[in-house]
């Protein structure tokens, strides 16, 4: 189970950030506008082969069944995980404590996914999520063609 993004729906409202921050103390997801024409949320990819877990000297980061788990008690704040994440998805708070997305294990569905006003974040296994994304994309392609041609839609 992972978090997927339907980029065309992200409106850069930061609700996911604020929700995550409230639930965890620090936000583990961030959204930013690109060229003021689109917005992209970034959070831990829960990589299959996780560089952060490979590098962590204390074993605080470990690859689990469906996510990369983080145990704060084991963290030494060495900061090496921040440097090895290819996506810059791991961060440190003001006390040098590492934090990253843990898919809200205490919830059935992560808070960011529940709160996203536009359903830009999807949570599910790869098949379900990508099926939904493809379904949405297919309809949009059909429509933009119709609009371009100026077709009557009755």
Residue 134 CB, shortest distance to another protein, in Å, is 12
Least distance from C-beta 7 to another protein, angstroms? 6
Q: Is 70 helix (H, G, I), strand (E, B) or coil?
A: strand
DSSP H helical segments within the chain, as ranges? 15-24, 51-55, 80-84, 111-115, 126-149
Task: Please state, in angstroms and rounded to a whole number, the distance separating the CA atoms of residues 93 and 11.
Answer: 26
Nearer residue to another protein within complex by CB, 16 or 67? 16
Binding site for another protein (CB under 8 A): 5, 7-9, 11-15, 17-19, 21-22, 30, 32, 34-40, 42, 49, 51, 54-55, 57-58, 76-80, 82-91, 95-96, 111, 114-119, 136, 139-140, 142-144, 146-147, 150, 152-154
Q: Name which of 104, 99, 110, 101 is nearest 72 in CA terms.
A: 99
């Amino acid at each position: 189970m992972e978090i997927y993004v339907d980029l065309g729906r992200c409106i850069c409202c930061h609700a996911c950030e604020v929700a995550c921050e409230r639930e965890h103390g620090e936000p583990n997801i961030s959204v930013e506008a690109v060229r003021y024409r689109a917005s992209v949320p970034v959070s831990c990819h829960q990589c299959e082969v996780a560089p952060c877990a490979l590098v962590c000297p204390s074993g605080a980061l470990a690859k689990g069944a469906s996510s990369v788990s983080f145990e704060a008690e084991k963290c030494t704040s060495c900061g090496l995980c921040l440097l090895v994440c290819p996506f810059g998805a791991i961060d440190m708070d003001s006390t040098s404590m590492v934090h990253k997305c843990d898919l809200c294990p205490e919830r059935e569905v992560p808070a960011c996914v529940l709160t996203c006003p536009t359903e830009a974040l999807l949570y599910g296994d790869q098949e379900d999520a990508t099926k939904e994304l493809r379904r949405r994309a297919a309809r949009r392609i059909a429509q933009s063609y119709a609009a371009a041609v100026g077709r009557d839609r009755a």
